[in-house]
Structure 1
Amino acid sequence: MNSEDLKLIIAEGEGLTVEFKEKYTSKIDRDIVAMANSRGGYILLGVSDDGKVIGEKLTNQMKAEISSLARNCDPHISIAKISQTGDVVAIEVSEGLEKPYSCSSGYFRRLDGMTQKMTQKEVRLIFRAAADMSFESLPCKGFSFEDVQLGKVRAFLKEAGASLKVTGANLPSFLSSLGICEGNSINNAGALMFAEDINRFIPHSETIMAAFKGVEKVHIYDRKDARTDLLSQFNAAMDFLKKQLNVRSEIYIDRREIYEIPLDALREALINALVHRDYSMRGTSIYVNIFDDRVDISNPGGLLPGVTTRNFGKESVRRNPVIADLFHRMGKVERMGTGIKRMKDLMREAGLKEPEFTSDTFFHAVFYRNPEYSLKRAGKKKVGETTQETTQETTQEKIFALLKAHPAITRRELAAKIGLSEDGVKYHLNRLKLSGRIKHVGPTKAGHWEAPK
């Protein structure tokens, strides 16, 4: 690894294939195991969580201890390379061929940019999955660096909040650090995210959106097909939902649009569909179907073996960990295992029925529309103005006051002070952000709130 590669990796931040450590400790065997159980990657010693280079010196004793820790894992792990690059010690771990691996503290893996201990059930599922290589990890046949659209890379970096410039020259290093490229081979996950024309390589990867009159798939009055990269599919689906759903404006200090189904709940379901879809199933699509009484978001593949609708969202198992990591970097995936609860909480707080989840060949998330609204026809928005409900006004004013008094306050602390769930606090924070009254500055963990209005 040269200094330019190192700068690139640090600028991208922690993720599925990158872990920062301020200094060396013997607990690093957990990160080595996690990398081997996932896609491999780099452990950078001498770098803080926020990407600041603190510095660490590689000694012969440290090198020997790291190699010994890796050999003591079960099965043994061979470290690909340990090197000093500037003030940083870089440990390169290859993806293991005999998963799952364990160390003296147990089984670990990479999830949401962190090393996390696995449950016994998760270990069994990884044993089962290790026999088959996932579609996202397979090399995309015929796909090369020339087929990558740099505009889509820039869109990804913008969403990720990374001030990084990627050109044709450093593109291979950039893709490699994301776990989507090895040598000259780019995998299917890379093609799905950055291909200039994905239809040439994976033509069955689209999202199809449709609005129906009534409660059956009989009379369709609007349709949109998104045959493009995954981020663009997500944005297109959200735009379609906003177009079709009823909305009202609440007048308080400013004008705020409130949709009949909380957009955050639908956003969570869309991300889930894109991240958990089985992309190897030909002739299938993600479907966003809107009826008079409900919204049905479905993805091919159903649930993974061993996961049921009862424990879905609690077992941290992903069909496409690389794609999940890319969406996590863009801030669209939070802690694994919280999505289902978040969707339920948002619907309940909006006074709506909880969403229903079913699984067969497809996984379905069904959201029931607010019966108070009349049918929304052919994209025409019916906007009714009302004053904000007293309870929501009071809650948001409490949050606003706390943010002004304590800019570094966390969502958990807000929840404790106000007496809401963390998801409930998030709902009101999003409302305040959308209105422009507050904004969050800096990284998620170490940033602060500003209240310009």
Structure 2
Amino acid sequence: MMSIDSTQLKLLLTEGEGLSVEFKEKYTPKIDRDIVALANARGGVILLGVDDDGHVVGEKLTNRMKAEIIDLARNCEPHIALSGISRIGDVAAIEVPQGREKPYSCSSGYFRRLDAVTQKMTQKEVRTIFRESTDVLFEDLSCPKIVLEDLSLKKVRIFFKELGASVKVSQTNLPSVLASIGVYREKEINNAGALMFANNVGQFIPHCESILAAFKGKDKTYIYDRKDVRDDLLTQLNEAMAFLKKHLNVRSEIHELDRHDIYEIPLDVLREALVNALVHRDYSIRGTNISVNIFDDRVEIVNPGGLPSGLSKENFGKESVRRNLIVADLFHRMDKMERVGSGIGRMRSLMKKAHLKKPVFESDTFFRALFYRNPEYALKAVDDKNDQKTREKTREKTREKILNLIRENPEIATEEMASTLGLSRKGIEWQISKLKESGLLKRVGPDRGGHWEVE
């Protein structure tokens, strides 16, 4: 647990609430729910006198309040010894350690931390924590041999840019910045930090990889494109989205002079599925990778690990269980996934809205998400390509006519070319710009008194 000072406070306010940070405008005895929720997760800090948007509204820390908070923590079961209660300006900071005897409860029951929200646990979730209380998650383990110099400042800066947070990251303040988002503790970088920010992720976690493939037909017999991405998780997400865009059919619609590309499978669906794969895969399983496979009739996204412990097939899509709490929190902070576990329902809804088949989710030792393509798009894509070819042929003929006019009269004016060919002046100017770009035409001398040269 980091010690909170004015610099750390400013950083926490800028980053906003998350897995390990809770904002409260005022103190109430119900704060014991947040204390046990943080103890049941990775520990963290409760900031009193801060609203949900990170604005300081002020809360006076009195000796009586401090004593009440200590008593509330002691009355939890098992007892919780707080790491500290301090005042920084107009804010009171309550530091809660990660519990060693999970699960913890207060007078209102058992609570857990789900992203930036404190939620009451079901009996099933309590039993799951009892079973897993002796386990240490892969993402929270110290990453062997990695040091601060192995991390990319650029990747850390990109992360905070995605947050919309104006945090200046340097080699000097890197430890405190990483500690504030839960990837650096006691001078050690955990696996979550390596997955997100390592310069060379494969050096430390070789199986952190996505394999992207496009196949001809409905099976894996004929592959015509493949890309292996062994990099940080955000890069894997972006590369996978680019690969899908490259190989899926798309049509364009014009609304109020703006062009909108509409893909045969909604991009929001695919992005949600990719984030789920990256966030929920079991990174402790070596020799495996995430697979994104594109077939003629479907897209499959596969990740190792199956459903997380504590989540049954019957409750899949209804309950939210995180396998990688830190990674999930970081993706939530970047606004890359739904906060309340509604991702599966959202994917189903978007597919229905697009008049596509329901997505299929399968789980054994791997988790598979299948999204069926729209066969009508393939026909429309062919029509669009034919239209595009026709337009291009027309443009080529127009450019050839322009070149012929210039060969006949190198001093010909734009207005004369437009009149002869029945085009607008802007249309002629656009065609000439393309001819100049391709090196077929050159202007010698000024607009008035100069002439054209055909290369």
TM-score scaled to structure 2, two decimals? 0.82
Q: Match of 1:193?
A: 196
Separation in 1, partners of 2:266, 2:362: 20
Query: Alignment partner for residue 231 of structure 1, among 205, 217, 234?
Result: 234
Separation in 2, partners of 1:307, 1:118: 13
Q: Which runs of 4+ in 1 moved over 4 A?
A: 380-385
Q: Is the Cα contact below 8 Å between 2:251 and 2:380 reproduced in 1? A: no
Post-superposition shift, 1:382?
A: 5.5
Q: Match of 1:115?
A: 118
Identity %: 67
Q: Is the Cα contact below 8 Å between 1:249 and 1:384 reproduced in 2? A: no
Query: Alignment partner for residue 208 of structure 1, among 208, 211, 232?
Result: 211
1:331-382 alpha-carbon deviations (Å, 9 max, x no partner):
01213331111111111110100100001111000000001133899xx995
TM-score scaled to structure 1, two decimals? 0.82
Separation in 1, partners of 2:137, 2:56: 35
Query: Is 1:290–2:294 an aligned residue pair?
Result: yes
Task: Give the 3-state SS of the residue equivalent to 1:108 in structure 2.
Answer: strand
1:277-301 alpha-carbon deviations (Å, 9 max, x no partner):
0001111000000000100001000
Q: Judge which range, 341-350 or 48-57, deviates more.
A: 48-57
Separation in 2, partners of 1:85, 1:306: 39
1:161-191 alpha-carbon deviations (Å, 9 max, x no partner):
1111121122111111111111201110011
Q: Match of 1:12?
A: 15
Separation in 1, partners of 2:96, 2:379: 56
Query: Is 1:324–2:290 an aligned residue pair?
Result: no
Query: Is 1:338–2:342 an aligned residue pair?
Result: yes
Separation in 2, partners of 1:125, 1:336: 19
Q: Which one-letter code corresponds to 1:363 in the other structure? A: F
Q: Match of 1:266?
A: 270
Separation in 1, partners of 2:197, 2:218: 37
1:229-277 alpha-carbon deviations (Å, 9 max, x no partner):
1001000000100001000001232211000001111111001001100
Q: Match of 1:159?
A: 162
Q: Judge which range, 207-216 or 107-116, deviates more.
A: 107-116
Question: Structure 1 or 2: larger helix share?
Answer: 2
Structure 1 unaligned spans of 5+: 386-453
Q: CA distance change for structure 1 residues 375 and 363 in 2, over 3 Å: closer, same or farther? A: farther
Post-superposition shift, 1:149?
A: 0.6
Structure 2 unaligned spans of 5+: 388-455
Query: Is 1:34–2:37 an aligned residue pair?
Result: yes
Q: Is the Cα contact below 8 Å between 2:298 and 2:371 reproduced in 1? A: yes
Q: Is the Cα contact below 8 Å between 1:247 and 1:382 reproduced in 2? A: no
Q: Match of 1:80?
A: 83
Q: Is the Cα contact below 8 Å between 2:125 and 2:310 reproduced in 1? A: no
Query: Is 1:310–2:314 an aligned residue pair?
Result: yes
The higher relative CO (CA closer than 8 Å, separation ≥ 6) is in 1
1:313-335 alpha-carbon deviations (Å, 9 max, x no partner):
22221100110000000001213
Query: Alignment partner for residue 180 of structure 1, among 176, 180, 183?
Result: 183
Separation in 2, partners of 1:18, 1:238: 31
Q: Is the Cα contact below 8 Å between 2:137 and 2:324 reproduced in 1? A: yes
Q: Which has the larger radius of gyration?
A: 2
Query: How many equivalent residue pairs?
Result: 384
Q: Match of 1:363?
A: 367
Separation in 2, partners of 1:110, 1:139: 22
Query: Alignment partner for residue 58 of structure 1, among 43, 48, 61?
Result: 61
Query: Is 1:69–2:72 an aligned residue pair?
Result: yes
Query: Alignment partner for residue 140 of structure 2, among 137, 142, 166?
Result: 137
Task: Give the 3-state SS of the residue equivalent to 1:374 in structure 2.
Answer: helix
Separation in 1, partners of 2:217, 2:247: 14
1:170-227 alpha-carbon deviations (Å, 9 max, x no partner):
2111111111111201110011001111111001001110000111111110011111
1:2-61 alpha-carbon deviations (Å, 9 max, x no partner):
211111111111000111111111111011001100110111111111111112222211
Separation in 2, partners of 1:40, 1:313: 27
Separation in 2, partners of 1:2, 1:95: 20
